[in-house]
Structures are given as structure tokens and as C-alpha cells.
Amino acid sequence: MPDPTLLPRPFCGDTADVAEDSDRFGWAWQVFCLKCDASTGYCQDETAAIATWNVRAPVPTLSLGTSKGAT
């Protein structure tokens, strides 16, 4: 089971909100940000919405080695 804690919003760093909504097909959950417009899209349950929100692309590392050929 994923960690139920929401990570900070990826663009603005604020706290995220979980919303549930229903239509003729049933219930759906979404994590969203009103400030920067980031969202998960709709998920089948709250756990899936939180797990989707908490996925982050790996941060690339930068190697600051010396440049070859420099004198």
C-alpha cells in the first residue's frame, strides 16, 4: 500500500489537495493544485490518486569533473 502522505506540489511546492467527484459512472478521485494547475487526472480510488501524485521523475545528476583539453 502506498504512503498516504502527499508529496509537495511539483511546480509550486505547496501542499496538494485530494478531491472526490461522482457522475453516472461512479466515484473518482483526483489530486490537484489550484495554484499551479498540476493534477493527476481521475483515478479509481483515493489510494491510486495519491500513489499517482507521488510519482516523480528522477532528478538528473550533474557531473562537475574537469574538462579534457583545457589548459
**Residues 2-43 pLDDT 10s:** 446 888 887 887 888 898 988 777 889 999 888 888 888 889
For 1-71, where are the alpha helices, taking DSSP H only? 46-53
**Distance from C-alpha of 57 to C-alpha of 60, rounded to nearest angstrom:** 9
pLDDT of residue 51: 92
Domain ranges of the chain: 1-55
Q: For residue 31, give the amino acid letter.
A: V
pLDDT of residue 1: 42
Q: For residue 41, give the amino acid letter.
A: G
Share of the chain above pLDDT 90, in %: 20
Which has the closest alpha carbon to 42: 34, 30, 31, 54? 30
In the predicted model, is pLDDT for residue 48 greater than 90?
yes
Q: Give how far Cα 34 sits from Cα of 7, 25, 53, 69, Å.
A: 15, 25, 15, 50
In the predicted model, is pLDDT for residue 45 greater than 80?
yes
pTM of the model: 0.66
